[in-house]
Amino acid sequence: METKDASIISRRSLLRGAALAAVMVPLGVSLASCAGPSGGSGSGSAGGTKSADNPFGVAANSKVDAVIFDGGYGVDYVENAAKIMGGNKKLDGATAKISPSTKIAQELQPRFVGGNPPDLIDNSGANSIGWNTILDQLEDLTDVLESNNLEGTKISDTLYGGVKDPGTFGGKFVAINYFMTVFGLWYSSSLFEKDGYKVPTSWQDLKDLGAAAKAKGKYLFVWGKEAATYYQTLVIDSAVIQSGDDVRLPLENLKENCWSHPTLQSILTILYDLIQAGYMKPGGSGTQFTQAQSQWSLDEAALLYPSGSWIENEMKKQTADGFKMMGIPELPLDDKQTTPKGTMRAEAGEPFVVPTKAKNAAGGKELLRTMLSKEAATWTAKSKFAPTIVKGTVPDDAFGSTALASQIKMLDAAGENVFTIKSTNLYGMNSDQLPIWNSFLDGKMTVAEITKALQDLVDKVRNDSSVTKIEIK
């Protein structure tokens, strides 16, 4: 398996994204991919004098308009960076206003069309802007990485390897993915210890774990309607862990019958059997996703939950006392996996972009530079229990977070044996996949029916001549 693919991570990870050098359809989720030339100053930049302490020439007393996706990480980590920036005397009174949003595309596409986009955007969430609609309207951000951070060190020298890849499209580096994301199965080690559950190591183990949970009046899994495709992520990633590029590349490149791969079919069959056995808590298609997640983290009604490493921060106000959240990599089918032990999905995510026509593009870059300082990144890692792309900001005790400590352990074990999945976000398929997965998790679709439905979506994108196809390697 080609593990040195877009977004190699040496030690840790967080939120989601990644796509390859290219474009995608209008309302995709977030993503990224490979290398790029140096960036410009932005046609709409407020003009100031450039210096080592003001590398983009932010004008004195200028304002930065930043719109930030209000998801699992909230927006306070950007507000903290804005506070640091506002206190930077070298910028002569430049400040930033942070506006939260859960509907990035709906709110900001009209501003792009009108020629007045914000200065900095976190293009994340299910309602992010499709890259193909704005790619030619974004600043190249290479100059941000080439600048020094607030501590005086070149930013590119402070980051994890591979973090530039997820933000590069068509050779242009347009997005800085700020968080590192680990995808895995999350559980309470304290609950497992108390009730004597065995941590699973394969999909075969889930049958026994589901039966053990049911015997104690609990479920194996739970889901919410907006996050039903978390189970698609689990299925795909697990199949890649089991069979490597033999599964990954056909899916990524929209091949005929890609969903019929034997490993995918075997995992889907086990998941179907788990649902039919009553190990999936019913009613998820009618439950808001954080409410469903609280059934796991607060009520402890279910043992496992598939998610990214944003889950701890997202549920910190709805987690039971003594709930020692931990993660394990998504599971191989059985002990015959073809990839190295410890292989997992991990990638840089939460893409920040600076529109070229922004009124203060220089200020948008400066706010990004501030976010990439050790001071701001450490505050973020501590407050979100999530590592950013800035190295050396998480201590050995992981700020007391068992979940964060487990992420580090997973990444250490994986080394360079990490991979990303790009096609879903690249081609904006998530919204169409959600009702399919809600129906399947509800027990209303067979394996054959979900296979056909998912393959039909793949075939639709592949056969749509208006969608530019990108070969993923």
* Domain range annotation of the chain: 63-180+346-422, 182-345
The per-residue pLDDT for 10 is 26
Q: Given pLDDT bands bounded at 50, 70 and 90, which one contains residue 294? A: very high
**Would the pTM count as exceeding 0.85?**
no
Q: Which of 30-39, 177-186, 234-243 has the largest mean confidence? A: 234-243
Checking if the pLDDT of 9 tops 90, the result is no
Q: Given pLDDT bands bounded at 50, 70 and 90, which one contains residue 273? A: very high
Q: What percent of the chain has pLDDT over 70?
A: 90
Q: What's the CATH class of domain 63-180+346-422?
A: alpha beta
The per-residue pLDDT for 201 is 97
The whole-number average pLDDT for the span 264-289 is 98
Per residue in 427-448, pLDDT (tens digit) is 889 999 999 999 999 999 999 9
Q: Given pLDDT bands bounded at 50, 70 and 90, which one contains residue 470? A: confident
Checking if the pLDDT of 457 tops 70, the result is yes
Is residue 425 exposed (0-12), middle (13-18) or buried (19+ Cβ within 10 Å)?
Answer: buried
Per residue in 200-236, pLDDT (tens digit) is 999 999 999 999 999 999 999 999 999 999 999 999 9
Checking if the pLDDT of 426 tops 80, the result is no
The whole-number average pLDDT for the span 86-102 is 96
CA nearest neighbour of 470 among 139, 103, 26, 20 = 20
Per residue in 298-321, pLDDT (tens digit) is 999 999 999 999 899 899 999 999
The per-residue pLDDT for 103 is 94
The whole-number average pLDDT for the span 276-295 is 98
- The overall average pLDDT reported for the chain is 89
The whole-number average pLDDT for the span 376-391 is 92
Q: What's the CATH class of domain 182-345?
A: alpha beta
